[in-house]
Structure 1
């Protein structure tokens, strides 16, 4: 009898390979966005969307379009490719938050969610909620398939970033942790968190790359923004 994988284990190599075709399997997403957004009214509230590791605003376009269709003002991070944690990017994002109208919601995919949680702690008066999508904010930061590449690119240990952070400490506003048992990059336990590390823990049946494209994930993000 085959033992099922533990949700606190790094996803298997085969599960990681299953992430590769994710974007190609969600065609016609512009029409889907308006279907998902029907009946919602974000009243123009600003939402800042932060991309994952080695991703840019281009890969969060589907998510931002869906958020816009629901009546919010969705903003990309405008910082090119997210190569990792740096003091320069952190400061630039703080300035961006200061320039956007409050209350502001932060939506962060994977590494972008780690940025979102820490930024929200620095700007509690400006941020009204944090939504993380498959973000490994809990436990050992090596419980994912990207940490070796991260260290090779950034020249610092993944658990010793150049910015003081404490990922497990919850920001002082409502937090929504979207996680998936099907995640092929991040261990599910790392993005789900322990009791007290997030206010709302929401399982989404999708792969890691699906968090910014699959209708079920886009719906979960809209629900979190609306809650």
Structure 2
């Protein structure tokens, strides 16, 4: 066990953003299964979301040390009711690293995933055809659901998928808006998801970021036990703060920089690697 002073020092470095709090979870079999929405106390914790953005300042050196991009196309997809502008800071960072980072092109995500999977698929295929190389997809919350389904349908057009705060099962049943959701619709969506996972699993490298502080989506619902290519990385930000969390940014940058064919075991970037 580390001495108390060292543990305190590392906690301070992590809290300020100088050090990453991201940790790879190689084995998720023992993690709890989802049983409902986040607790009211966890949802209340979303009020602390601005603090995740504050960590960006101290994290600038390790953000700058992230591996350079190779120029490939990265499409960023916003979460439910979030404007396309919500992903602008991450896109600006990825562009600075050397990626062709773009928004999804449809403005605010109004919450119609079936329609959005269709139209984003068409847009990605068009862009990939123009560039002659597959794209990576980065999705926040419901945006990750859309990214997953586009990759499932068009694996040859998608190089890699990174999601954060994204439920893979249960729909709104495991979110803070569960009481206002349509349970029968959620049950149908869940059955469809299970059938798709069994018949047509996602075959591209997939990185799943989740946080136990997520007050919008129950973190247990983000664990993907059905996708062979899925790797899991635990961060420590609120749901609303994930888009501005430097730990999320460094994991995204690290995964996007990996070789296209790399589907091996995943690890969160080490502090020495700029995480």
Q: TM-score when scaled to structure 1?
A: 0.82
Alignment of 1:1-227 (within 5 A): 8-9=34-35, 10-23=37-50, 26-27=53-54, 36-101=63-128, 102-138=133-169, 141-149=172-180, 151=182, 157-160=185-188, 166=193, 169=197, 170-194=201-225, 196=227, 198-227=229-258
Structure 1 unmatched runs, 5+:
1-5
Q: Using the alignment, how far apart are the partners of 2:42 and 2:54 within structure 1?
A: 22
Q: Answer with 30-39 or 71-80: which moved more.
A: 30-39
Q: Answer with 133-142 or 117-126: which moved more.
A: 133-142
Counting matched residue pairs gives: 217
Contact 1:37 1:67 in 2 (8 A): no
Aligned to 2:19: none
CA deviation string 1:46-99 (max 9, x = no partner): 000110011021111111111112211111012121121244332221121012
Contact 2:173 2:181 in 1 (8 A): no
Q: Using the alignment, how far apart are the partners of 1:77 and 1:172 within structure 2?
A: 22
Q: TM-score when scaled to structure 2?
A: 0.69
* Alpha-carbon offset, residue 179 of structure 1: 0.7
Contact 2:172 2:181 in 1 (8 A): no
Q: Using the alignment, how far apart are the partners of 1:94 and 1:8 within structure 2?
A: 29
Residues 63 and 200 of structure 1, relative CA distance in 2, 3 Å threshold: same
**Structure 1 or 2: more helix by fraction:** 2
Greater relative contact order (Cα < 8 A, sep 6+) = 2
The SS at the match of 2:233 is: strand
* Alpha-carbon offset, residue 27 of structure 1: 4.9
Aligned to 1:3: none
Structure 2 unmatched runs, 5+:
1-31, 259-275
Q: Using the alignment, how far apart are the partners of 2:180 and 2:209 within structure 1?
A: 24
* Alpha-carbon offset, residue 113 of structure 1: 0.5
